[in-house]
Chain A
């Protein structure tokens, strides 16, 4: 299958890549750009482990085709922290012990950022509602919700 030339802004940088039309954005990020922080847990939009921001909007990258991001901006977990250090949500995840195995953590952090970008003072109920698209099997969510609440203070 011939590849398509794509230009997009990935984590703030103008990026060129080649991908097959059948490749999902998640495959393109992981296999073509080697940005493996976005995880595949289900490949059908149910677990949120592959969450990225597409023009600032939260999406499951397994449900977006790579070719669809042509001319758009994508932020992955790798783009959340900068040279100046961790994002406050990342810092709170560490302080609150909001991860165990850590496989769902990138998705939760990207999703939480999307929420707090819109609602910096989100309540517990708003956080639980927003993060219902992200599955975690280790923590029982308690410490994740607390970490996001702390970041929302």
Chain B
């Protein structure tokens, strides 16, 4: 374990660099962009969940005074069959194009059909009502199991199932079927002593960021385009717009604004290409905004799913075999996170025999996007409740069971990888030692549940440049959208490496022309990978500072040391300069020093979490109240502990919402009936207690400061932990999300019969 005292900056809690802008309302988010001559864009969306478009008439809309441009799918160039890699998931370009503006079919309620740019937003909205779309409604299919059945309405005539590397030859809603196998699960189940098997359903849920999507574009007569947008990845947005509109990337500049939450949902482009088309047609800058209903109905939720899990253990409590069937709703286009779900499903455990089948299935819902550990939470809900049932049957404490069966260094996951040093067991140990686990529940209808979770984290590419100022501060330009305090966690790694204060670094998130290529803010990668780029940029500065000091002292660079911000000549120890003192001499001795780095680090450290929750279940109404919550997580090394705790708390609470209330409710026409924050019930502060956190630090050997990704895994355990707590409180096992009051009450009533 890394000791905090090794570091001077890492592990401290400085005030974030962008803090004052954000508490005073001065920070500029996507919708805050203002330009001279700006037009306002709005998007017309399909009222049908599934329909053929027979024709679109835009004449009346164009004639409305104040309307400057109207675009439809006909304005989008034909996209080929190329696959675009988005950093956290990939998509076929043609699908992305049709999702941006529908061509001949709409595949979900809210699917974009046309867009208008007008002098003000109200005129734009009026104009939308004047666009005449001739639809031929088709029957929708809204559920993964229904969509898989023979004879189900087909979304795509050309979608052929790819099953275990072979194609079926027949159109279907099943895009893909794949398998992971380890050992011989079938044989192991035949010999098993205790087996538990159940089916699970989870609802479609949304990331729920408070800032709706927006994009502002200015198309210049020379063909250069500038796009201001709230995105998780400026370079990925640039790539997508370039591919979709057949423009060279050199013609596109993407300026990432501040981003009001994303959680994976602001990686794919929706409005950016539309804004560019409207700007090109009108000759004016255009800002296009979504409203909240648009966000729910037309941006990426995370899939509803059907899952079957079977697990076996011997009488000593050792897991012997596990099997999972995962069918995830991709939404309108293939590409659900079922692959990740299938890799994560048993990732917390050391199991010799495993078989996992995954299915990616299209349904008439918005195309799903990444959502915080995409795919993992659905799977963990199923596995963690089955594990709890095994523990009950074997009469083993659930944490003892996890300590016995938990994954550790050397464990092979069913999809292949063997774990390096990981911290699963350490999170279980920390849970066992936590007072929460031993505290009396203190009342009737109360229960305690535990669950664990895993997420891979990713590395990918990051760039940074850092310039030394004459006053000894450093300007740091990096390319990772700051979604939750990463300017600071990156700047702290630069400061640590240089031996200067965190406050002496001025971090800036650059646009696509200010900084080298950087992948998306996703996969819990930024503090790990962009932090690594900052570390390397600092090393570059250190090398140059040593050379400069050597030059000033007429010494050899190898005789100059650099320790904790102090340069010293080893052959003449009286010669020494602090970082600040040398910085002041740079201009007079050859010019300033700029450090730079571009990295693609391989040493990603997986993240494990174990959560403990106490609930009280109202036996009459089925309402579940969270009484106490403790989130325990191996973070490798907490660079800024407050923001690490914040990720753990925020992730846990999103998971609580997913567990207890959140779901897309559809009517029989495939129309979402709760597309507002009033009816899509996310947790408020009144629904919650404080969320306790325990930071466990098992250093990642693949990072200079031991950092693992932190952001995603905390959403994984809550639904399983809460389901287990509900069982121990009320005696009913819930196997469907959300575990909302009507569902819990129904289960309690059924059990009483």
Interface residues of A (CB under 8 A from B): 1, 20, 22-23, 27, 30, 34-44, 46-47, 49, 76-78, 80-81, 86, 90, 93-97, 99-106, 109, 127-129, 131-146
- Residue of A39, A97, A139, A143 ringed by the most chain B CB atoms within 10 A: A97
Cα distance, A22 to B693, chains bound together (Å) = 47
* Interface presence of B140 (CB below 8 A): no
* Nearest-CB residue, chain A, relative to B29: A103
Q: Map CB proximity to A onto B685-698 as digits: 1 under 8 Å, 0 otherwise.
A: 11010110000000
CB of A36 within 8 A of CB of B643, answer no
Task: From known contacts A90-B23, A103-B260, infer whether A34 and B211 are also in contact, taking CB-CB under 8 Å.
Answer: no
| Whole-angstrom CA separation of A128 from B52 in the bound complex | 48
Would you give 28 A-B contacts (Cβ < 8 Å), ordered by A? A22-B122, A36-B32, A39-B31, A39-B210, A39-B260, A41-B212, A41-B260, A41-B292, A43-B291, A49-B210, A76-B25, A78-B26, A86-B20, A86-B23, A97-B13, A97-B640, A97-B643, A97-B645, A100-B650, A102-B27, A103-B209, A129-B686, A136-B210, A137-B261, A140-B654, A140-B688, A141-B649, A142-B691
A135 touches B25 (CB 8 A): no
B200 to chain A, nearest CB (A): 25
Question: Are the C-beta atoms of A97 and B16 separated by less than 8 Å?
Answer: yes
B128-176 at interface with A (beta carbon < 8 Å): none
Q: Is B258 an interface residue (CB 8 A)?
A: yes
**Which residues does chain A contribute within 8 Å of B258, judged by CB atoms?**
101-103
- A39-B260, A103-B210 given. 14 additional CB < 8 A pairs? A41-B260, A77-B25, A78-B24, A101-B259, A102-B18, A102-B258, A104-B260, A131-B685, A132-B684, A135-B684, A136-B210, A137-B682, A138-B261, A140-B646
Bound Cα distance A95, B15 (Å): 6
Contact of A104 among B26, B210, B292 (CB under 8 A): B210
Give the distance in Å from the alpha carbon of A96 to the alpha carbon of B211 in the complex: 22
Asked whether, in the complex, the Cβ of B688 is within 8 Å of the Cβ of A101, the reply is no
- CB contacts under 8 Å to A, within B209-256, are 209-212
A50 → B minimal CB distance (Å): 11
Given contacts A137-B261, A140-B649, contact A86 B22 (CB under 8 A): no
Chain B, range 15-52, C-beta contacts under 8 Å to A: 15-16, 18-20, 22-29, 31-32, 34
Number of A-B contacts (CB under 8 A): 188
Q: Which residues of A contact B690 (CB under 8 A)?
A: 142, 145-146
For the complex, what is the distance from the CA of A9 to the CA of B15, rounded to whole Å? 33
Is A135 within 8 A of B677, CB to CB?
Answer: yes
| Interface SS of chain B | loop
How far in angstroms is the closest Cβ of chain B from A36? 4
Q: Known A42-B676, A47-B677; judge A97-B485 contact (CB<8 A).
A: yes
Known: A43-B292, A143-B649. A100 touches B483 (CB 8 A): yes
A138 adjacent to B678 (CB under 8 Å): no
CB-CB contacts below 8 Å: B275-312 with A = 291-292
The answer to whether A81 and B24 touch across the interface, beta carbons within 8 angstroms, is: yes
CA distance A140 to B448 in the complex (A): 20
Q: How far is the CA of A108 from the CA of B442 in the complex (A)?
A: 33
Q: Among A43, A135, A146, which residue has its beta carbon within 8 angstroms of that of B682? A: A135
Q: For B32, list chain A residues within 8 Å (CB).
A: 30, 36
Chain B residue with the shortest CB-CB distance to A124 = B690
Q: A141: shortest Cβ distance to chain B, in Å?
A: 4
A94 pairs with B16, CB closer than 8 A: yes
Q: How far is the CB of A79 from chain B (nearest CB, A)?
A: 9
**Once the chains are docked, how many angstroms separate the CA of A153 from the CA of B16?**
23
Whether B211 and A101, one on each chain, are in contact in the complex, defined by CB atoms closer than 8 angstroms, is yes
Known: A99-B19, A100-B484. A137 touches B643 (CB 8 A): no
Q: Which residue of B lies closest to A132 (CB)?
A: B686
Closest chain-A Cβ to B483's Cβ sits at a distance in Å of: 6
Contacts of A141 in B (CB 8 A): 649, 653, 683-685, 688
Candidates A34, A46, A136, A142; contact of B678 at CB < 8 Å:
A46
Q: Does B652 contact A (CB under 8 A)?
A: yes
| Set of chain B residues within 8 Å of A109, measured between Cβ atoms | 23
A138 interface neighbour in B15, B27, B212, B646, Cβ under 8 Å: B646
B689 to chain A, nearest CB (A): 9
Residues of B within 8 A of A78 (CB): 24-26
Which of B20, B31, B207, B652 contacts A140, CB < 8 Å? B652
Within the complex, which residue of B23, B209, B683 is in contact with A99, where a contact is CB–CB below 8 Å?
B23
1/0 contact string of B1-18 vs chain A (CB within 8 Å): 000000000000101101
A-B complex: 10 closest residue pairs judged by Cβ atoms: A37-B25, A103-B260, A140-B653, A102-B22, A140-B649, A77-B25, A97-B642, A100-B484, A46-B677, A141-B685
Tell whether, in the assembled complex, residue B23 and residue A41 are in contact, meaning their CB atoms are under 8 Å apart: no
